[in-house]
Chains A and B, each alone.
Chain A
Amino acid sequence: MERECYTISVYTENNIGLLNRISAIFLKRHINLDSMTASVSEIKDVFRFTIVVKITEEQVKKLVGQIEKQIEVIKAFYHKDDETIYQETALFKVASKLLFEERQIQNVIKESNSNIVTVTPEFFVLEKTGRRKEVEELYDKLEPYGLMQFVRSGRIAVTKEKMHISKIIESFGVETV
């Protein structure tokens, strides 16, 4: 079976050890995570992990089974790229003097659909949100001029189809613990 990129969305209770518990499932199977992002979700007090892995569909099914088995995991889903809307964010810290010394850099910025977050006499910070490829393209263009710092976030994604999590939450009724 072919390896593909899968986005796993995990809805969980807010629990201190859960990140460890979920990452241990990948560790045990020697599967490397492309990225992992934790945040609040659309539901009050419910958290959401967004995990990206390149594996086979058979593997991802088993992983989701193991993840859902964890006590504080409410529900886990997996999706292929064409089933989700997904983005990553990157920050580029660049020396301000380059704006004047290397005029070409201004064109790169203009064409890149990125935002200047802050400018100081020493540096400016460029924020680029998009698909991995777009971020990488900008990286390739800016890198020759010299980057003071670069960082990229993990993927965040929403699905095109409805996520049937709200119904599960409704069925909980009164919280027991």
Chain B
Amino acid sequence: METQTQTIEKETKETTGHMTGAEAVIHCLLSEGVDLIYGYPGGAIMPVYDELYKFQDRLQHILTRHEQGATHAAQGYARTSGKVGVAIATSGPGATNFVTGIADAQIDSTPMVCITGQVGSHLLGSDAFQETDIIGISTPITKWNHQVTKAEDIPSVLAKAFYIARSGRPGPVLIDITKDAQFGELDFKYEKCKGVRSYKPVPETDPETLEQAASLINSAKKPMIVFGQGVILGEAEEELKNFIEKTNIPSAWTILGLSALPTAHPLNVGMVGMHGNYGPNKLTNECDLLLAIGMRFDDRVTGNLETYAKQAKVIHFEIDPAEVNKNVKADVAVMGDVKSTLAEILPMVTSNNHEAWLQEFKDFDTIEYDKVIKEELYPSKEGLSMGEVLRGINEETKGDAVIVSDVGQHQMIACRYAEFVKSKSNVTSGGLGTMGFALPAAIGAKMGAPEREVVAIIGDGGYQMTIQELGTIFQTRVPVKIVVLNNDFLGMVRQWQQLFFDKRYASTEMVNPDFVTIAKGYHIAAKRVTKREELQSAIQEMIASKEPYFLEVCVEKENNVFPMIPTGASVSDIRLS
């Protein structure tokens, strides 16, 4: 952090002077400590690309094969590095191709700055070539957006963009810059944004709420924690660990909270939600105190709200006031950054022993292991299961890898069975459920954490939504490991069709191409596994490789993911089959 600040100060001192708006964009990025951006050039952003050419020794640009890929790569980068991801594109279709990634970053609170070129300001509203109202389009899916029409506004607007993207509850910001603003000239001076008067990133913590919360925690007989991504975004992993270890409260996680607490931690009781673990879902409706820490009670977490944790008092640790009482009413809302609120409450809570209560979780674990997990990890049937692939990856990586997953059955299996020892290791599209997310996100994830192993787990459906990013991997040689779990189906939709639509498999069967040949076409080492005896050695070979590697595993076609809470059902009505 300190080195980054120093670089910024140096940069700020160094760079002043008369220049074009396009050059100013580069200096703004450098001043914010950005050294890597993802994008795709085009007419309305060409002046900035011309400057990128000149600054390529200081600012690396990764050419993705589609603008959507640039946004997901920037998201992956942000998720593993903790820094702001940057994506850049031209106007019109370039900008509209950003939309899915921006919406994904908004709902998953990912800090990202998107820069789009725009037609000259004299052409605005004239339906000019590649003109589109990206400000209007992106308004409901950005934390903030702004159109720049004058070169001299570029430094202050970009400074504000980075500040807003990363502060408080992070999110995506889009800055649209007209071509004349890029060509226009200004006297450049960069000052980092230190605040926006109408925006309070972190609400003040009322000390009384801490006392009320502590008193509820200290008197609870069956308390339970559900933590979310707020812990990771706030870098409060240590504070969470200290808090749960002192209070001995069983702790479950949402899909985006995954990896904030090591999988093997004795108080880690698994995932809540639709395909979460049996115990934490069942016991949500039996606990007497529910502590929600940096999570937002998504409907996939809560199931039917009418029957969700009605018996429990609820304490909500939250940074975003709009999330409090949005879905679940909180008896006590502790506002603020969980890094500080968890640290502040620590001396106020008493050590506790919830042995009998923890045993209830263990008992449910045993039931789930016998009825679901055992068969998934060690299948008795001939066909390969997705779970055993994850088990094989766990064995090879020892839980040290970043797992990037796409959306669907394989995602649920990856999140249920991947083991983690470090935070910021689970990168997935949670809120938006964006198929096609994983391949480009894995590129960014690897560049954001180059020292770490990055394994993308993707289904055969989602893989083909952004498969063109193999070109980006080929060109950059970024050593990501790609695992496609191929069941020749859009598996999750097929599962729902089987369970709720009398097996009418409408348009879910995929006739797939030869994925290995496609990977080889991009000069990426590739292998297909169809038999159990080939699996572990293939995973070993993939993990051992220093290069990008593609592994297709042909898995059982019609396996289902369990446990499952059917839509609209209560969390305690979770089904094991």
A and B associate: yes
**Contact B321–A68 (Cβ < 8 Å):** yes
Asked if B381 is an interface residue, CB under 8 A from chain A, the answer is no
* Most interface-central of A16, A21, A177 (chain B CB within 10 A): A177
Stretch of B40-48, B192-200, B226-234, B567-575 that contacts chain A:
B192-200
The SS class assigned to the A binding surface is helix
CA A25 to CA B322, docked complex, whole Å: 12
- CB-CB under 8 A from A133, the residues of chain B are none
* Contacts between the two chains (Cβ within 8 Å), count: 57
**Contact B196–A71 (Cβ < 8 Å):** yes
Given contacts A20-B139, A71-B144, contact A65 B196 (CB under 8 A): no
Selected contact of B326 from candidates A17, A62, A72, CB within 8 Å: A62
* Most interface-central of B144, B164, B194 (chain A CB within 10 A): B144
- CB-CB under 8 A from A61, the residues of chain B are 325
B159 to chain A, nearest CB (A): 8
- CB-CB under 8 A from A122, the residues of chain B are none
Selected contact of A71 from candidates B156, B194, B198, B325, CB within 8 Å: B198
B230 to chain A, nearest CB (A): 15
**Contact A20–B322 (Cβ < 8 Å):** no
CA A19 to CA B145, docked complex, whole Å: 13
Asked if B135 is an interface residue, CB under 8 A from chain A, the answer is yes
Selected contact of B195 from candidates A20, A24, A66, A176, CB within 8 Å: A176
The proximity string for A residues 19-39 relative to B, scoring 1 for CB distances below 8 Å and 0 otherwise, is 011001101100000000000
**Contact B321–A69 (Cβ < 8 Å):** yes
B414 to chain A, nearest CB (A): 31
The proximity string for B residues 305-346 relative to A, scoring 1 for CB distances below 8 Å and 0 otherwise, is 000000000000000111011100000000000000000000
**Contact B136–A65 (Cβ < 8 Å):** no
Q: What bracket does the count of chain B residues touching chain A fall in? A: 20 to 34
The proximity string for A residues 30-65 relative to B, scoring 1 for CB distances below 8 Å and 0 otherwise, is 000000000000000000000000000000011001
Chain A residue with minimal CB distance to B146?
A17
- CB-CB under 8 A from A20, the residues of chain B are 136, 139
- CB-CB under 8 A from B324, the residues of chain A are 65
Asked if B143 is an interface residue, CB under 8 A from chain A, the answer is yes
Asked if A7 is an interface residue, CB under 8 A from chain B, the answer is no
Contacts of B143-191 to chain A: CB distance below 8 A: 143-147, 156, 160, 164
**Contact B321–A176 (Cβ < 8 Å):** no
CA A74 to CA B139, docked complex, whole Å: 18
- CB-CB under 8 A from A12, the residues of chain B are 198
Asked if A100 is an interface residue, CB under 8 A from chain B, the answer is no
CA A132 to CA B216, docked complex, whole Å: 49
**Contact A177–B326 (Cβ < 8 Å):** no
Asked if B140 is an interface residue, CB under 8 A from chain A, the answer is yes
CA A99 to CA B325, docked complex, whole Å: 58
CA A63 to CA B195, docked complex, whole Å: 25
**Contact A68–B139 (Cβ < 8 Å):** no
- CB-CB under 8 A from B322, the residues of chain A are 62, 65-66, 68-69
- CB-CB under 8 A from A177, the residues of chain B are 156, 160, 193, 195-197
**Contact B321–A21 (Cβ < 8 Å):** no
Given contacts A71-B199, A177-B193, A177-B197, contact A17 B135 (CB under 8 A): yes
**Contact A176–B194 (Cβ < 8 Å):** yes
**Contact A17–B198 (Cβ < 8 Å):** no
- CB-CB under 8 A from A175, the residues of chain B are 197
Q: A17-B136, A177-B156 are in contact. List 8 more A-B contacts (CB 8 A).
A: A16-B147, A20-B136, A25-B140, A27-B140, A61-B325, A68-B322, A71-B143, A72-B199
24 A-B residue pairings within 8 Å (CB atoms): A13-B197, A17-B135, A17-B136, A17-B145, A20-B136, A21-B139, A21-B140, A28-B140, A61-B325, A62-B326, A65-B321, A65-B324, A66-B322, A69-B320, A69-B322, A71-B164, A74-B198, A172-B197, A175-B197, A176-B194, A177-B156, A177-B195, A177-B196, A177-B197
> Which 7 A-B residue pairings sit nearest by Cβ, starting from the closest?
A65-B322, A24-B140, A172-B197, A74-B198, A176-B195, A71-B144, A69-B322
